[in-house]
Amino acid sequence: MKALVAVKRVVDANVKVRVKPDNSGVDLTNVKMSINPFCEIAVEEAVRLKEKGTVSEIIVVSIGPKEAQEQIRSSMALGADRGILVETTDDIGALEVAKILKGIVEQEKPELILLGKQAIDDDSNQVGQMLGALLGAGQGTFASVVNVAGDKVQVTREVDGGLQTVELTLPAIITTDLRLNEPRYAALPNIMKARKKPLEVKSPTDYGVSASTKLKTVKVEPPAERKAGVQVKSVDELVEKLKNEAKVI
Ligand code: AMP
Q: pLDDT, tens digit, for every residue of 60-84?
A: 999 999 999 999 999 999 999 999 9
Q: What is the pLDDT of residues 103-156, one digit of tens each?
A: 999 999 999 999 999 999 999 999 999 999 999 999 999 999 999 999 999 999
Q: Which domains does the chain have, with CATH numbers?
A: 2-244 (3.40.50.620)
Q: 186-197 in b/e burial notation, b at 16+ Cβ within 10 A?
A: beeeeeeebeeb
Distance 54 CA to ligand 1 centre (A): 24
pTM of the predicted structure, to 2 decimals:
0.92
Sign for the CA dihedral angle at 119, 122, 125, 131 comes to: negative
Distance 227 CA to ligand 1 centre (A): 35
Q: What is the pLDDT of residues 5-23, one digit of tens each?
A: 999 999 999 999 999 999 9
Distance 238 CA to ligand 1 centre (A): 46
The pocket around ligand 1, CB under 6 angstroms, is made up of 6-8, 36, 38-39, 61-64, 94, 97, 115-116, 118-119, 122, 124-128
Give residue 32's pLDDT band: very low, low, confident or very high (50, 70, 90): very high
Amino acid at 94: A
Backbone Cα Rg of the chain: 21
